[in-house]
Amino acid sequence: MTALQAFCVRIAVVIVLALLPVVLPAQSAAGDSTAVAADSSGQGSQSLLETIQQTRPKAEWSVTFAKVLWVLVLFAIAVFVLKWLTRILEAVAERWTNMRLLIKRFIPIMRMLGWTFVLYISIVGILAPPIETLIAFTASASIALGFASQDLLKNIFGGVLILTDRPFQVGDKIQVGDHYGEVVQIGLRTVRIVTPDDSLVSIPNGEITNQSVSNSNSGESNCQVVSEFFLPAQIDVAAARRVAYRAAAVSRYVFVNKPIVIIFKNEIHQGRSMLKLRLKAYVLDIRYEFPFASEMTEIVLREFVKFGIVSAEDLNHLPAD
């Protein structure tokens, strides 16, 4: 008999033992003939029980205080070690800026593998339940968790999906609903991002998988920044283009390996024809996104006034972006 066949036989025996009290008759009738039939049926059932008891595999198992204590100790050590490794990796990532995104993307994978290993050691190595007990407990726990923790399980499966499908990674700038910021942690329950206002926002994984997500840099350290300016329709477009391009090209934040693009668009605002100038450039690091946008606004407007492209009075009457 192969191992698979032996396993199937053991499962079948367990099922028979569980259903046997329901199947066996529990009634006795009056009369001599009925008593004889009942006695013979009882003897048959008793022999069947004895046969099953003799062939049933041993499934003795007990949870001792020492086993529970070792499981708790193992979980405490895992919490300490994973936090310690996470802090070390984050410190190394901040020191090596060219490797920051790669190192931070490894952290959630490390945490998931670590907890999976701890759970495996706890069940197989310490508690060591027999296969029958493990199957029965797993089935009961699955049903209970399925009804009581639907939202939690949805978030956990969403976290696994995010780690495998990788629509974004740690270090990316994403937009989820009304929240925009840098991804600092991808957990099994939530994704945490830091907004431009330095607020830490936790978004459930189930919500992320059910809506569109905008990724600004898609795994790269640089990202595009767009600055917009409303200008009078009669300005010198060529001069405005030169000023905006030079302002972006000389910035300490600009990533020169990607193009700087200037786009003009005519719009009607409050019954007036206006020009919208869109300055699109890339920054060296995603963390320079807002300092670069602020610098472009200050420099471009100052140079427009300096070269007479627009006057200070015109700026006061222009709509705010």
pLDDT tens digit at each of 321 positions of the chain: 444 444 444 444 444 444 444 334 433 333 444 443 444 444 544 565 565 455 544 545 567 888 888 889 999 999 999 999 988 988 888 788 777 778 887 888 888 888 889 988 888 888 877 777 777 777 766 766 666 567 777 888 888 888 888 889 888 999 998 899 999 888 888 999 999 888 999 999 989 988 889 998 888 888 999 999 988 888 889 999 999 999 999 999 999 899 999 999 988 877 778 889 999 999 998 889 999 999 999 999 899 988 888 876 766 655 655
pLDDT value at residue 61: 59
- The Cα 110–Cα 107 span in angstroms is 5
Tokens of 45: 């059932």
The rounded radius of gyration (Å) of the Cα atoms in the chain is: 34
Q: Fold for domain 223-317?
A: Alpha-Beta Plaits (3.30.70)
pLDDT value at residue 90: 85
Give the CA angle between residues 168, 172, 173 to the nearest 5°: 110
Q: At what angle do helices 237-249 and 289-306 cross, to 10 degrees?
A: 140
3-state secondary structure of 280: strand
Q: Are 52 and 13 in contact (CB under 8 A)?
A: yes
Would you say the pTM of this structure is higher than 0.85? no
Tokens of 66: 């020492």
- The Cα 6–Cα 315 span in angstroms is 85
C-alpha distances (whole Å) from 163 to each of 106, 113, 168, 210 are 10, 12, 9, 15
Domains in the chain: boundaries: 10-52, 223-317
Please list, in sequence order, all residues whose beta carbon lies within 8 angstroms of the beta carbon of residue 130, skipping any fewer than 6 positions away: 58, 59, 60, 61
- The Cα 225–Cα 202 span in angstroms is 25
pLDDT value at residue 147: 63
Element (DSSP H or E) covering residue 177: none
- The Cα 132–Cα 16 span in angstroms is 13
- The Cα 261–Cα 211 span in angstroms is 31
The torsion angle over the Cα atoms of residues 134, 138, 140 and 143, rounded to 10 degrees, is -170
- For 11, phi and psi rounded to 5 degrees? -65, -40
C-alpha distances (whole Å) from 276 to each of 233, 264, 265, 268 are 9, 6, 5, 10
pLDDT value at residue 23: 38
pLDDT value at residue 262: 94
Length of the chain: 321
pLDDT value at residue 202: 93
Nearest of 61, 54, 49 to residue 135 by alpha carbon: 61
